[in-house]
A and B are shown apart, each in its own frame.
Chain A
Amino acid sequence: MTAQEPIQPAEGCASSTPGGGSRREFLGTAVAAVATALTGCGKLSHEEFLQHNFRELSKDEVRDVIARLEREYKEKYGREVKVTNTAPLPGVIFGYALDLSRCIGCRRCVHACVKENNQSRSPEVQWIRVLELEKEEGVNLQHADQYYDPAEVPREGHFYMPVQCQQCKKPPCVKVCPVGATWREKDGITVVDYNWCIGCRYCMAACPYGARHFNWGEPNLPPDQVNPDTHYLGNRPRPKGVVEKCTFCIQRTRKGLYPACVEICPTGSRKFGNLLDKTSEIRYVLENKRVFKLKEELNTQPNFFYFYGV
């Protein structure tokens, strides 16, 4: 869960609605004015205000939306940002397995994720939280600490459990979204349409893993730190007031690459692949190791597994 900043009363937003000539122009300004009224501040272009849910857009509309976003990002960050729309690969459902007997809690994954996925840097939004747990207690979340900071890890008597979106087969966050701004894709990745999300945060309340994070302020992403390889449903820069989460690096994995957290992990604790491929390493883990799901009793049916490699 993203930490909460103190909320101050809204300041007045100067709305600029110059009087206009033609009926068409008038409609345009009227829409912009409504958009301004609805969103608090007039940052939303009227194209964006009129944009439909991503899943309902035609091919041409998607192309226009992406072109508009790329233009807006260029203006904002002063550099080319590529927004892709790569579809799920046929015959693929992604699965993830994390070796609890290997993870040493070094948090390399946490920060590689922030860099890859264009999260706000200050305060930093982190999609992965590494919990430090006591060996004596086992996986007991009452004894979990996410703020540990010793000189060296692993600490004697402790083990580490990174938690991120578990890409549930029955995602409670999707069920509660009142506007259909979040859904599960065919390859098992739950995504958010940031342009459709109204920021109600129901999904954050519903997620049992604390995997969803809210942009309380304008995300603070320095232009020189922007990762320009983005996906519409993934790591493209987000606006203020929307919810975001781990997408298994949708922009990488749909191209055949491993997620950034797998690439960086120095202990090789992180395993990723196609659950439908009998020869994949992920299937080997599921068939040969002791595996468990976090909070299995909630029947969220994660495609994210924890295992003991030893």
Chain B
Amino acid sequence: MAQTLFAKIWDAHRIAETAGGAHLIAIDRVFLHERTGAAALRRMAETGRTVLDPARVFAVMDHIVDTRPGRGDGTLMPGGEGFITETRAAARAAGITLFDVNDRDQGIIHVISPEQGIVLPGLTLVAPDSHTCTQGAFGALAWGIGSSEAEHAMVTGTLRMERPRTMRVTFTGQLAPGVTAKDMALALIATHGAGGGAGHAVEFAGEAVTALDMEGRLTLANMATEFSTMTGIIAPDAKTFAYLAGRPYAPEAFDDPYWATLRSDADASFDREIVIDAAAIAPMVSWGTSPEHTIPVTATVPHGPERAHTYIGLPAGAPLAGTPIDAAFIGSCTNSRISDLRRAAALLKGRRIAPTIRKALVVPGSLAVKRQAEAEGLDKVFEAAGFEWRMSGCSLCFYAGGEGFAEGSRVISSTNRNFEGRQGPGIRTHIASPETVAASALAGVIADPRLLAREEASA
């Protein structure tokens, strides 16, 4: 019988059916971070349980580590150092692989796991982090869980799971110049709602998806959780295997015929299908306080929940482009990879951000991305333009009580969430692609990056 990619991986990992009709699913990789992983490791130690297979459990410091140069265990977040030192001690005691604060390969989970070849096509991978779905871009079944389930996965090598329904989101045609994977994700959520994928595991497919490079695919899959799905998965292809070849934790060769089976069969059926014309997508920017409150940068603010208009300070009918901004952020597991930094730097090169911008940060997703960017001179481009150049980490994707933006600031951000207070009390966040962040930082107002690119082409 024809099968979806999701079904192939799920069924290959099904150990048993439980009495209640749920499935016991084998988990190949568990990844922890210091913010929520510490709680799982602590409970495990308290109950005297141990990790079933420590060689397949990994931990990293990414969420609350300081990103200022010269960092150590100290962080500006109140009590933050305790999370770091406790996670380090617990990870060592549990015998799992740890990417510590200043290890050469430290970075955000969903950046370093592909970089190191820890995620592989056909694996199941979980982490107590909602953006674990990012790694579905490699044809793995990867999803976010809570700390209790992380403990369950470490101790038993399994999770007890209800089988989700399947959905395919097909992006037909090709993206227009200046439009990116981030805009694809935002267009999907804007059209079908932040809860639109509930109960489903999504496969992203279509010409515009296969045309993306691996980093673009990671960006697209990253936002699956903002669509409320269990995960987002993309069938692996030659690009996927080429990316992984030679990575430290990847197999030496992908020559097992198994790898070629990892795709939905041509006549496989999905419980739900959504088709989106990729060619019609424009650069997208959020106007409100949910990722679904997103419109093309050229559009005017629609009627939304009153509270969202009040919080963000933009009435229905107001044009989004031209809205003055106070700060800019490039980083996060959505958009902090080398290709993201290259595209933003291409627009910033030889220019200065507007004098009204009070804080502009670029935070590479990993120390490897940072080294690569520095080898290409991108750090100098960002600094000359007026951005601060940082160590890697999650940084101001969220506010943990330490470093922040000035209260009430309006921030253009390459992150994934624009919730009330997400980046700090009263902070108004507009999520967008790195090029839209760069163009807006230069203009001092929310701006369409295509205009800048055109200016460049005609110069």
Partners in one complex: no
Q: Which residues of A contact B (CB under 8 A)?
A: none
Q: Which residues of B contact A (CB under 8 A)?
A: none
